A and B are shown apart, each in its own frame.
Chain A
Amino acid sequence: DQQVKQNSPSLSVQEGRISILNCDYTNSMFDYFLWYKKYPAEGPTFLISISSIKDKNEDGRFTVFLNKSAKHLSLHIVPSQPGDSAVYFCAASGQVVGNQFYFGTGTSLTVIP
């Protein structure tokens, strides 16, 4: 049962343009969401998070949007840079569901110079 879904396995974007990565979830008890970035041969690294009490969180070029009614979140990267090329995972958790994070299957982003 995949509670967190990333329906786009890959995305290609020109350098300088906006990258939008999407994530959907099914469990309405999730109240905390994270995005991780993963380079080959490395573990995932934390990128940005958002709590369900917010609908937007910004950190430099990265912005995460949360639409609770649609159970949807998105990560915007502006402007995209070649170094952003990686696999991006969204993850969800919540106090009620326990201490684990549920991950999506990832979206491979390629930023073309």
Chain B
Amino acid sequence: DAGVTQSPTHLIKTRGQQVTLRCSPKSGHDTVSWYQQALGQGPQFIFQYYEEEERQRGNFPDRFSGHQFPNYSSELNVNALLLGDSALYLCASSSGQGLYGYTFGSGTRLTVV
């Protein structure tokens, strides 16, 4: 049984470009959350999607947007990339709110140059 699958695993982009990261949740999970983990920091909540809608959002600018598809998979889009957007982006899936723990993917390492 596959867990959470994220693609790509690594990505290098130039400042000002746009990027799309993808996530397939664990089988049976209907909720997808995205986290940004900067070097030496803990993961920070970006937003959560449930029933194809953004249910909650963390303290991230509108350059960060997302989408959830009917099959529960999700995309994270970041526009006008800044050097400070370089980080590990983690997707986590859960059933419902996930208060009993998420299943995390291995992440996408984004480097902005």
Contact = CB atoms under 8 A, between A and B. Distances in A.
B103 A99 contact: no
Contacts of B7: none
A101 B40 contact: no
Nearest to B38: A105
B42 A89 contact: yes
B55 A99 contact: yes
B71 interface: no
Q: Which of B40, B55, B98, B104 has the most CB of A within 10 A?
A: B104
A106 B104 CA distance: 16
Contact of B42 (A41, A98, A103): A103
Nearest to A5: B42
Q: What interface size band does chain A fall in?
A: 20 to 34
A38 B31 CA distance: 22
Interface string A19-60: 000000000000010101000011111100100000000000
Contacts of A106: 42
A75 interface: no
B42 A99 contact: no
Nearest to B103: A46
Contact of B106 (A6, A42, A95, A98): A42
Interface of B: 4, 33, 35, 40-45, 48, 55-56, 58, 90, 92, 97-107
Interface of A: 4, 6, 32, 34, 36, 41-46, 49, 89, 91, 93, 95, 98-106
